[in-house]
Amino acid sequence: MVQKRGWASETEIAAFLEAGFSLANVLEVVLTITLKTLSNYANRIMRTPLDKTFAAEIWAA
């Protein structure tokens, strides 16, 4: 979803559904990506410091 900027093919959606997931689960994936993106943007704009708990996970682009 992220790499294709939301353009999931009918085949990909069908495979997801055939794996036992529902259309509601598809929406949950979209909403999770939305929440993470919004959180990342807000934290970068506000320059939120990294929690010490996650200091070992820091990386630079």
Report in angstroms the alpha-carbon separations of 21 from 17, 26, 46, 61. Answer: 5, 8, 36, 34
According to the model, what pLDDT value does residue 42 have?
Answer: 97
pLDDT tens digit at each of 61 positions of the chain: 888 888 999 999 999 999 999 999 999 999 999 999 999 999 999 999 989 999 898 888 7
According to the model, what pLDDT value does residue 61 have?
Answer: 74
According to the model, what pLDDT value does residue 5 have?
Answer: 87
Query: Which three-class secondary structure string do you get for the chain?
Result: CCCCCCCCCHHHHHHHHHCCCCHHHHHHHHHHHHHHHHHHHHHHHHCCCCCHHHHHHCCCC
According to the model, what pLDDT value does residue 2 have?
Answer: 87
Instruction: Indicate the domain borders of the chain.
Output: 1-48
